[in-house]
Amino acid sequence: MLSRVSFLGCPVDRVTIPQALEWMAQAVMEYLADREDVLLAFSPRYEYQAAMVSDYAWRNQPVILTKPIPFISLLKSVDLVASGGGTML
C-alpha cells in the first residue's frame, strides 16, 4: 500500500532561501524518492522547484501539482504533509 505524501516547496525564492532549509528539502526528497511505499504529490511554490523532483531516481513517479487546489482537499487526499515552511500549516 502506498503512502501519499504531499511536499510543499519552500516559501522563499532561491536567492533568499536559507541554506539549512534547502538542505532539509533535499534530504526529505532523497528519503522519499528511495521509498517503495511512497507516492509524492509535489506542490512547488516557484516554477524552478518543479524540476527538483528530477534530481532523484523515484521508485514511484511523483505527481507535480501545476494548479492550486483547495488546501483542505489536499490534506484529505494525503497521508502525510511535509512543508518547507510558511504560514499554510
Q: Which residue has the cell 528539502?
A: 25
Tell me the whole-structure pTM to 2 decimals. Answer: 0.79
Q: Name the nearest CA neighbour of 52 among 71, 27, 75, 35.
A: 27
Using CA atoms, how far apart are residues 41 and 56, in angstroms rounded to an integer?
15
pLDDT at 84 over 90: no
User: Which of 34-43, 56-65, 74-83 shows the lowest mean pLDDT across its residues?
Assistant: 74-83
Question: Which pLDDT band holds residue 44 (cuts at 50, 70, 90)?
Answer: confident
**3-class SS string, 36-83:** CCEEEEEECCCHHHHHHHHHCCCCCCCEECCCCCCHHHHHHHCCEEEE
pLDDT at 43 over 70: yes
Handedness of CA 40, 22, 52, 56 (dihedral sign): negative
